[in-house]
Each structure stands twice: as C-alpha cells, then as structure tokens.
Amino acid sequence: MSSTPSTSSTPRLTVLGTGYLGATHAICMAVLGYDVLGVDTDRAKVAALNDGRVPFFEPGLPALLRKALDSGRLSFTTDLSAAGEFGDVHFICVGTPQQAGSHAADLRYVEGVTRDLAPYLRRRCLVVGKSTVPVGTAARLTRLLQDNAPAGTEVELAWNPEFLREGYAVEDTMRPDRLVFGIGSAWAEQTLRAAFAPVIRNGVPVVITDIPTAELVKVAANSFLATKISYINAMAEVCEATGADVQDLASALSYDTRIGGRFLHPGLGFGGGCLPKDIRAFVHRAEEVGVGRSVAFLRQVDAINQRRRARTVDLVREQAGGSLEGVRVCCLGAAFKPDSDDVRDAPALDVARMLQEEGAIVSVYDPEAMDNARRVQPTLHYAEGVFDAAADAQVVVLLTEWDQFRSLDPRRLAEVVATRSIVDGRHALDPAEWTAAAWTYRALGRAG
C-alpha cells in the first residue's frame, strides 16, 4: 500500500481496534472498495486476521474477510506509526467496558489509542470516534489530538456512532438504518460522506449533528431498546401475579404500530457488551452533569432486567420441587443471544452460575459460545451437545434461543432426561407441543 495522500473522493481508512466492531468495519469497508489498514495491539488477533481467520463468531464475516484480503485492499498491523502515515480517516473502534467497581465507562482504551496515534499524524486528517463514550469525551479527545499531533489543528475529530448488532454485523454495516455524523466543520462532513459514499448511495439516510449529540445518540438508542425490553418484562411480572399471559399481551401490543413488536420479546432479558453497560454509564454521566433525575428510570430498567435472572432460577427451583441441592439441570445456551459467541454479561451464563451456587449439578451446552463460556465460568460442566447436556436431567432450562433449541423435538429429548420438565427462559418453544409430549412446561410471565 502506498503512503502518498489519496484523493479526497476515496480516502484511505484506518480502523483502530479489531474487535466485533472494528474488524467488521474494516472488512466491510475494504469490500466496499476502500484501502483499509486495521490496527490492534493484540498480535495474535492481527496475525489471525491477516491469515484470513475471524477471531470471533459472526455469520458471513469469514467469507468477506477472505474476499477483502484477496482484493489486496485490506491488511492488519500492530504498528500505529504505519496507521498515521497511511490514513486520511482514522476510525476509533476500541472497547469502552464498564469500569471495575463503578458504573462509569472505562475510557482507558479510547484515550490510550488517541494519545498513541497523535504523534504520527503529520498531515490533515479526520479521526472518527465510533466507540460508545460518555457525552463530552470527544471534546477532551480533540484537545489530546491537537496538542500531540505534529499536524496540530489540521487534525479534526468527528463522531460516528455505530449501531451494529452482533449476529447481523455485516448487514448493519453495509446497510445501516441510518448514519449519524457528528461534525465540527463542513470539511469533516465532506470527508465522512466520502468515507461512506457507497453506503450513502444505497439510500441510507444521513443525520448531521454536532458532536455531543452524536455521542448521545448511541446511548439514547440503547437505553430506549433496554427500556422496551424491561417494559415487557415488567408486564411479565404483573402477568405472573395475576394469571395473565405475557406472550399474548405482547402480541396484542405489537399490532399497535405506535408500539411495534420489535424488542418486545419477554424472557430472560438483555445482556451483552452494550445494553447493560451503556445504560449504567449513561446514568453515571447524567449524574455527573447534574441531570441524574432525567434518566433515573434506567436504574429500574436495569433492576427489572436483573430480576428476570433470579426469577428464572425460581422457576427451575419450583420445577425441581423446592430445592436445587443435587438436582441435575441442563442449561441450553450460554451466549447473551443467538448467533453470537459473546458471553459478556450473558443472562444465560449468569443463570447457570446461580443454579450451581444453589447446589444444582449444571450441564451447559451452547452451539458457539463454549470456549468463551469456559473462560468466564470454568467450574460449570460443559457438554458435547444437547442430548449429552440433557442426559438424566431433572430440569431442562432454555436460556438462549438458538434455532437448534427452538426446533428440538420434545419426544426425542424425553428419551434422555430423567424428568420431563422444562423452563423456557426465552418463550422460544410451543407450550402446546411440549405439554402434548407429557412435559411440564414453565415460562416467565405465564401461569404455571
């Protein structure tokens, strides 16, 4: 790849951080025709990507990585100086996890990569934040960049929040619902438009905002989604106390186009690397800027979500006759949602852990998340497959709604379990089918 400046119509891109977000962005942009350099401090990850291996599970991505590498437009490095030399637009895609012992976002990676990149920025360029950050972070990063870059104020910062869902990361990158450009100048807007030209040509709407608004959009969106999930799960609690059925309730609500049915699926609730930590960091930041009251309801959203995990354990305990001590429980699922191997804040794994803490003998199976789950919860027993996990189980609990679990034949599963007892933590099964096969079926928000 040459180091001479490219034309402004096709800027050369760097992507800093090659996790779920960065790797997907780098690969998709190269497929769309850009020259892209991905950067990560993790040598093993860089080697794997250069070798054509995606270091996590994401449908469709391995084929696109091979295509992008074959085109010669994509490579990965650990060398930030190469990135500074190469890029016209630098995308920051590093993680902002929850701080240990606090609800605040941990900004060390975002600040670290910005500080480390700055000395290599010797010409006009645009640094674009994609990571989810507390509002106000970009202003600090701008100072950090301009104070430390040889190009000084020729280096501009913009914010372009990322909304990709794991499992649909390719689709969400190629055809997002919208692009949000938080910019401080007409040049920044023009440069971002050039950096997303093929996506914009596909008819994707662009929303131009100031930088603080762009920082806020992501947490506002994720807070709304989390609230919608917790809303229906709060209704599930009311249903449980009144003998009503939350599935039927959600279905009736969903026909109202003002409400809509998406993110209205009751069950074990949300987890993952975004929703839980984003709502907590948002509350923390709002309190810092004196508007904690405005988003205090998000504490309730979080509490409702946590209660679903405890309630799932209650249902398993009830199914087991009142105590989990020595009870063999088969846990189907570990990932925080299907089509992902991500176990960050995974409700499924949390439930498996809680069951074990109460004395249950827990056997876990997940189609993709076994290695990650083993790392996080090494003391659980991990089975080879569904039927191995369910062998002699006294209770089966479905925790992640993989298609493989949705399509389970209750009669076949009955052949291996000790007791036909199932808790459906995700409303993924047809209760009539399971009760017809002589199973005792329980689900959150439904009469027992």
Is residue 78 within 8 Å of residue 43, measured between CB atoms? Answer: yes
Please identify which residue in 96, 222, 356, 419 interacts with ligand UDX, judged by CB under 6 A: 222
Supply the minimum distance, in Å, between the C-beta of residue 423 and ligand UDX: 16
User: Bridge partners of 330?
Assistant: 363, 396
Sheet of 381-382, strands arranged across: 381-382, 361-365, 328-332, 395-398, 421-424, 440-443
Rounded Cα distance, 333 and 346, in Å: 10
Candidates 270, 282, 382, 441: give the one binding ligand UDX (CB under 6 A): 270
C-alpha atoms less than 13 angstroms from C-alpha of 31 in its C-beta half-sphere: 19
Q: Smallest distance, Å, CB 336 to ligand UDX?
A: 4
Residues 318-357 as x/- pattern, contact with ligand UDX by CB under 6 A:
------------------xx--------------------
Contacts 24+ apart (CB under 8 A), 242-245: 243/447, 244/447, 245/445, 245/446, 245/447
Binding mask 273-302 for ligand UDX (x = CB under 6 A): -xx---------------------------
Compute the least distance from the CB of residue 100 to ligand UDX, in Å: 21
CA distance 135 to 132: 9
Tell me the chain's radius of gyration from C-alpha atoms: 24
Q: How far is the CB of 195 from ligand UDX (least distance, A)?
A: 19
| Options 70-78, 87-95, 270-278, 295-303: segment touching ligand UDX (CB under 6 A) | 270-278
201 phi and psi, to 5 degrees? -60, -25
Map tokens 């950090």 to a residue. Answer: 144
Min separation Cβ 1 and ligand UDX, Å: 30
Nearer to ligand UDX, 73 or 284 (CB): 284
Interface with ligand UDX: number of residues (CB under 6 A):
20
* Contacts for 289 with CB less than 8 Å, ≥ 6 apart: 135, 136
Within 224-253, which residues bind ligand UDX (CB under 6 A)? 225, 229
The DSSP bridge partners found for residue 37 are: 14, 75
Q: For residues 240 and 246, give the distance between their C-alpha atoms in angstroms, rounded to a whole number.
A: 8
CA distance 118 to 148: 5
Pick the stretch among 47-55, 67-75, 113-121, 161-169 that binds ligand UDX (CB under 6 A).
161-169
d(CA 74, CA 82): 14
Q: Which of 271, 333, 367, 445 is close enough to bind ligand UDX by CB under 6 A? A: 271
Which residue shows structure tokens 């696109």? 64
Site membership for ligand UDX, residue 159 (CB under 6 A) = no
Residue from the set 187, 263, 297, 387 that interacts with ligand UDX by CB under 6 A = 263
Q: Is 165 in the site for ligand UDX (CB under 6 A)?
A: yes
Segment interacting with ligand UDX (CB under 6 A) among 67-75, 207-215, 260-268, 320-328: 260-268
Residue 267 engages ligand UDX in binding (rule: CB under 6 A): yes
Of 44-52, 199-207, 269-277, 325-333, the segment contacting ligand UDX by CB under 6 A is 269-277
- Structure tokens, 334: 């570990």
Only segment of 50-58, 152-160, 234-242, 271-279 that touches ligand UDX (CB under 6 A):
271-279
Q: Are strands 89-92 and 328-332 parallel, antiparallel or unpaired?
A: unpaired
Are the C-beta atoms of 172 and 164 separated by less than 8 Å? yes
Q: Measured from the CB atom, is 75 or 131 closer to ligand UDX?
A: 131
User: Does 124 contact ligand UDX by CB under 6 A?
Assistant: no
Catalytic annotation present for 330: no
Does residue 166 touch ligand UDX according to CB under 6 A?
yes
Rounded Cα distance between 177 and 165, Å, is: 12
CA 179 to chain centre: 18
Residue 310 CB contacts under 8 Å (≥ 6 apart), including other chains = 354
Smallest distance from the beta carbon of 262 to ligand UDX, in angstroms? 7
CA count, 13 A, side-chain hemisphere, 367: 14
* Residue choice 158, 170, 219, 264 for contact with ligand UDX (CB under 6 A): 264
Nearer to ligand UDX, 263 or 387 (CB): 263
User: Which entry of 93, 274, 330, 331 is annotated as an active-site residue?
Assistant: 274
- Please identify, using beta-carbon distances, which residue of 116 and 172 lies nearer to ligand UDX: 172
The conformation of residue 290, written as its DSSP 8-state character, comes to T
Stretch that binds ligand UDX, among 41-49, 61-69, 162-170, 385-393 (CB under 6 A): 162-170
Among 87, 182, 272, 425, binds ligand UDX (CB under 6 A): 272
Burial class of residue 221 in the structure, from the number of CB atoms within 10 Å of its CB (0-12 exposed, 13-18 middle, 19+ buried): middle
Would you please indicate which residues are annotated as catalytic (active-site) residues? 274
Binding stretches for ligand UDX (CB under 6 A):
162-166, 222, 225, 229, 263-265, 267, 269-272, 274-275, 336-337
